[in-house]
């Protein structure tokens, strides 16, 4: 029963709300292990949906579920030590909401019905909002309020997009279940005008949650104010789930013969997101906000690659995997920095290389990875996207793409260099680093390195099958 991957974190989340903090941490890790085991079983085809009218196993959904479950395990291991050092009075709420958050993200990856997908994405907002407000400060309240309001407006527009797709069915005299798998088989019968309108609203609605510019304004505040394990989940897992909504809408238009229309929109949103990130990353004073703008950039890269098509779609899927691994690692390292210096401001840090050697190694390696340096996988994914864009003759678009990458590297490297090597004004260390809070970061980076060197054939075939539905392939 595939739905167990939803039900188990949902039930354990309810229990965690009433357990002492120590037991709650253990339950978090146990649930993460069980969830990963069930996810692998689903990937191997050993468990299937019990409600096929609502849920389905797709290659793209399974890919994102695997990434989510893997990242969640290491974030949970990190959280055990992190929570011991933080002053959070409501730790059971963290455990409960984190598990609820996992359940809703899992539901997104398996949803086949348009409205079930919409409900699941809205539920991720409701389950993650308490995580952002966990420190109960004024800035956390403002970030939570902005997150809920902007994402709710976005999700309302996505609902309107669903209605337009249904209207396209009605005008095309199509009678079929309102599921993506059914609609793709009769996509050419749908009314093209209302299908295009539906896609625009879906991409704006789910793109808001994905962090695409100009609907991204909630993201820097939310990622900055949430506790670092929650920030890692928001960036490494939630954004992928929102991307899945956009991807499935793009699949529908491709099957309807309207792929050029949706591709151009994705390329436009992708480049705009990268340029916005490039402009704003220069003026950031907080390192968590810097990482948040990097997430906006990387969501833009993925949208751009999917929109370009061909070889670039393979690069985009690789980018999704490696971004989740590396960015989660960076946010976990940022948690160590916050514990050590007691501030999110870059100017209040410094000399990490000497004061926090283990965290420095993970953070600097993560920065190199997210900037696209070899041997990390983002180097490969970005090269594939650039080659794919040239193959498609998108010379102007790829020039803007490369220009934005350079700008972002220049802006972020200035801040990272300041943190790692400049003298620290206040060298008093509040909390010393330890292996329990650094090993998960190293493990996530190691996973990215390993996948860059050796991609298992089963994972490779899953990616190829996922991108084949929008005409993507490694042959351009």
- pLDDT of res. 350: 86
- Percentage of residues in the chain having pLDDT higher than 90: 75
| Residue 211 included in any domain | yes
The residue segments making up the domain with residue 326 are 3-470
Report how far residue 38's alpha carbon sits from residue 385's, in angstroms, rounded to the nearest whole number. Answer: 32
| Residue 207 included in any domain | yes
- pLDDT of res. 176: 84
- pLDDT of res. 476: 63
Whether 290 and 231 have beta carbons less than 8 Å apart is answered as: no
| Residue 475 included in any domain | no
- Residue 113 has φ and ψ, to the nearest 5°, of -75, 135
- pLDDT of res. 2: 79
| Residue 476 included in any domain | no
Q: How far apart are the first and last CA of the chain?
A: 38
- pLDDT of res. 473: 80
Average pLDDT of the segment spanning 129-147 = 90
| Residue 426 included in any domain | yes
| Residue 250 included in any domain | yes
Report how far residue 241's alpha carbon sits from residue 234's, in angstroms, rounded to the nearest whole number. Answer: 10
What are the C-alpha distances in Å from 454 to residues 315, 375, 446, 458?
A: 15, 12, 12, 12
Average pLDDT of the segment spanning 349-361 = 91
Number of domains, the chain? 1
- pLDDT of res. 135: 81
- Calculate the average pLDDT of the chain: 92
């Amino acid at each position: 029963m595939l739905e167990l991957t939803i039900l188990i974190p949902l039930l354990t989340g309810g229990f965690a709300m009433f357990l002492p903090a120590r037991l709650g941490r253990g339950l978090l890790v146990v649930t993460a292990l069980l969830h990963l085991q069930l996810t692998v079983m689903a990937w191997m085809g050993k468990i299937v949906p019990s409600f096929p009218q609502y849920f389905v196993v797709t290659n793209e959904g399974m890919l994102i579920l695997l990434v989510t479950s893997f990242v969640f395990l290491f974030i949970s291991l990190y959280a055990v030590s992190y929570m011991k050092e933080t002053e959070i009075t409501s730790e059971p709420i963290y455990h409960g909401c984190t598990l609820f958050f996992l359940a809703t993200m899992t539901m997104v990856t398996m949803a086949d019905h348009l409205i079930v997908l919409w409900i699941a994405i809205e539920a991720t907002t409701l389950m993650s909002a308490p995580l952002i407000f966990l420190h109960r400060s004024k800035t956390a309240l403002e970030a939570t309020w902005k997150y809920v309001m902007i994402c709710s407006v976005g999700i309302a527009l996505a609902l309107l997009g669903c209605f337009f797709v249904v209207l396209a069915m009605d005008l095309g005299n199509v009678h079929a279940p309102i599921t993506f798998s059914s609609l793709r088989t009769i996509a050419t019968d749908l009314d093209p005008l209302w299908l295009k309108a539906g896609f625009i609203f879906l991409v704006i609605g789910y793109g808001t949650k994905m962090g695409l510019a100009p609907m991204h304004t909630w993201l820097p505040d939310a990622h900055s104010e949430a506790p670092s394990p929650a920030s890692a989940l928001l960036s490494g897992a939630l954004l992928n789930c929102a991307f899945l909504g956009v991807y499935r809408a793009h699949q529908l238009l491709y099957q309807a013969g309207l792929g050029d229309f949706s591709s151009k929109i994705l390329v436009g949103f992708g480049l705009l997101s990268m340029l916005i990130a490039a402009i704003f990353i220069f003026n950031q004073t907080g390192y968590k906000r810097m990482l948040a703008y990097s997430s906006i950039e990387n969501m833009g890269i993925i949208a751009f690659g999917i929109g370009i098509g061909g070889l670039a779609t393979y690069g985009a899927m690789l980018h999704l995997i490696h971004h989740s691994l590396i960015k989660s690692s960076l946010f976990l390292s940022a948690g160590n920095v916050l514990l050590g210096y007691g501030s999110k401001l870059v100017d209040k840090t410094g000399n990490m290389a000497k004061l926090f050697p283990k965290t420095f190694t993970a953070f600097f390696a993560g920065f190199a990875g997210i900037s696209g340096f070899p041997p990390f996988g983002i180097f490969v994914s970005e090269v594939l996207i650039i080659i794919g864009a040239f193959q498609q003759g998108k010379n102007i678009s790829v020039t803007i793409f490369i220009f934005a990458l350079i700008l972002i590297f220049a802006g972020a490297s200035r801040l990272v260099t300041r943190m790692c090597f400049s003298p620290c004004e206040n060298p008093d260390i509040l909390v010393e680093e330890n292996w329990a809070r650094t090993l998960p970061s190293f493990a996530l980076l190691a996973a990215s390195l390993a996948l860059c060197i050796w991609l298992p054939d089963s994972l490779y075939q899953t990616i190829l099958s996922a991108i084949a539905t929008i005409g993507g392939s490694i042959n351009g």
